[in-house]
């Protein structure tokens, strides 16, 4: 398998597929979504302008996540950031580690998989599951949506039944993500 430069069509596809998760990933470092979006756009611009060559799709993804991580860390170390916000050297040291990087990549990728699966559900069902994922209890969801507790429970059962086959191949990754978030 040889190296290849992305065609415009491939570039657009990679951008459309990975842009949201890369923005969320960068935001784990900088906690500013607007700056995160700028960072991700800068990385994509560099890929296009420098005509960077890749071995395969996994190399593209790896390059993008690593580049976004590095640019995010550079931003945190920048004079402009340090003048506006305070972050300790210990904090930067912690987020520069490989375990932090790998954990956040897995979380970003898994979040995209889960969101795509949830978006296949009927609207009300998806809304209930999204609120549940945010940590709301059945009672809180019931109060927020103005529907009965039994309806919440029924909709969740329907959702789980539909999501199970969609997410079966990702079960261990999803379990891992929810374990490290707690």
Express each pLDDT in 56-82 by its tens digit.
878 898 899 999 999 998 888 875 555
Place of tokens 């998806």: 126
User: Tell me, what's the pLDDT at 150?
Assistant: 94
> Sorting pLDDT into bands at 50, 70 and 90, what band is 87?
low
The answer on pLDDT for 104 being more than 50 is: yes
- Topology alike, domains 1-96 and 97-182: no
Q: What mean pLDDT do residues 147-176 have?
A: 80
Q: What's the average model confidence in pLDDT over 26-54?
A: 91
In the predicted model, is pLDDT for residue 4 greater than 50?
yes
Mean pLDDT of the chain: 81
Q: What angle do CA 7, 9, 12 make, to 5 degrees?
A: 105
pLDDT band at 90 (very low <50, low <70, confident <90, very high): very low
CATH of domain 97-182: 1.10.10.10
pLDDT band at 181 (very low <50, low <70, confident <90, very high): very low
pLDDT at 162 over 80: yes
- Specify which of 15-24, 73-82, 130-139 reaches the highest per-range mean pLDDT: 15-24
- Distance between first and last Cα of the chain: 41
For residue 100 the two structure tokens come to 């932090």
Would you say residue 37 has pLDDT above 80? yes
The phi and psi torsions of 33 (rounded to 5 degrees) equal: -65, -35
Please report which confidence band the pLDDT of residue 131 belongs to, taking 50, 70 and 90 as the band edges. Answer: confident
The reported pLDDT for the residue numbered 29 is 86
Q: Considering just the CA atoms, what is the radius of gyration of the chain in Å?
A: 19
- For residue 108, the cross-strand partners are none
30, 40, 57, 110 from 63: Cα distances, Å: 19, 12, 10, 18
Answer for the pair 52, 10: CB distance below 8 angstroms, yes or no: no
| 174 and 101 Cβ atoms separated by less than 8 Å | no
Do 75 and 39 meet the contact criterion of CB atoms below 8 Å apart? yes
Other CB atoms within a 10 A radius of the CB of residue 121 amount to 19
Sequence ranges of the domains in the chain: 1-96, 97-182
Task: Answer yes or no: is pLDDT of 89 > 50.
Answer: no
Under 8 Å between Cβ of 3 and 53: yes
Considering the chain, what percentage of its residues have pLDDT values greater than 70? 76
Q: What is the mean pLDDT of residues 91-99?
A: 64
For the beta carbon of residue 96, count every other beta carbon within 10 angstroms.
15
- What is the topology classification, in CATH, of domain 1-96? Rna Polymerase Sigma Factor; Chain: A (1.10.1740)
- Give the number of other CB atoms < 10 A from CB of residue 25: 25
């Amino acid at each position: 398998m040889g190296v290849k430069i992305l065609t415009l069509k491939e570039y657009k596809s990679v951008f459309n597929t990975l842009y949201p998760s890369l923005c969320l990933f960068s935001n784990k470092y900088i906690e500013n979504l607007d700056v995160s979006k700028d960072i991700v756009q800068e990385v994509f611009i560099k890929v296009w302008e420098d005509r960077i060559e890749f071995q395969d799709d996994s190399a593209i993804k790896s390059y993008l996540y690593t580049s976004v991580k590095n640019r995010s860390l550079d931003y945190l170390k920048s004079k402009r950031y340090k003048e506006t916000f305070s972050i300790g050297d210990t904090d930067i040291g912690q987020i520069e580690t490989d375990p932090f990087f790998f954990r956040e990549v897995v979380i970003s990728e898994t979040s995209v998989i889960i969101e795509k699966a949830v978006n296949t559900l009927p609207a009300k069902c998806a809304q209930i599951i999204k609120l549940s994922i945010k940590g709301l209890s059945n009672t809180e969801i019931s109060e927020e949506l103005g529907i009965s507790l039994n309806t919440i429970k029924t909709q969740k059962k329907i959702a789980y039944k539909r999501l199970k086959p969609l997410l079966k191949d990702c079960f261990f990754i999803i379990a891992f993500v929810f374990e490290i978030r707690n």
